[in-house]
Amino acid sequence: MESISEQTLVPADPDSTWRLITDPQYFQQWYAFGGAEIELVAGGAMVLRWDEHGSFPATVVAVEPGRRFAFRWLPEPGDLVEITLTSEGAGTLVRISESGALEDAATSAMAWRNSLSLLAKLAQA
């Protein structure tokens, strides 16, 4: 099993950051640019879309408001993505970890780094 982890400091409190991470209208602005459907309960369905890559289903694994959001890519046992939020000063430290049989760990890490950069910019808007 492989794992990657990326993090950034987002200039917003954990509650505001939580909304950016779990509300589909914001999620698609920093990660799933073609659209996102998120049923925000453990066991809930997710579909993330990219115009150039297509649609990817996932299942919500954990929902801890303001602290942790996790999902698993389908089909089972797909890679696990965990997003944790930790209050840090006036901001929130956001850490994204992905583990499993990563197809291309370097590309995944780069994609999460880019997405975290976009998330931080979105929080400033």
Predicted pLDDT of residue 1: 86
Q: Whole-angstrom Cα distance, residue 97 to residue 108?
A: 10
Cis peptide preceding 77, ω within 30 of 0: yes
What is the band of 124 on the pLDDT scale with cuts at 50, 70, 90? Answer: very high
Predicted pLDDT of residue 103: 86
92 strand-pairing partners: 10, 87
Q: What does the pLDDT look like over 94-121, one tens digit per residue?
A: 999 999 999 899 999 999 999 999 999 9
What is the band of 125 on the pLDDT scale with cuts at 50, 70, 90? Answer: confident
User: What is the signed CA dihedral for 41, 45, 50, 54, rounded to 10 degrees?
Assistant: 170
- Going by DSSP bridges, is the β-strand pair 80-88/2-10 parallel, antiparallel, or unpaired? unpaired
Q: What does the pLDDT look like over 44-81, one tens digit per residue?
A: 999 999 999 999 999 999 999 999 999 999 998 899 99
**Per residue in 81-92, is it b (16+ CB within 10 Å) or e — as a string?**
bbbbbeeeeebb
Q: Whole-angstrom Cα distance, residue 125 to residue 108?
A: 26
73 sits in which H/E element? strand 68-73
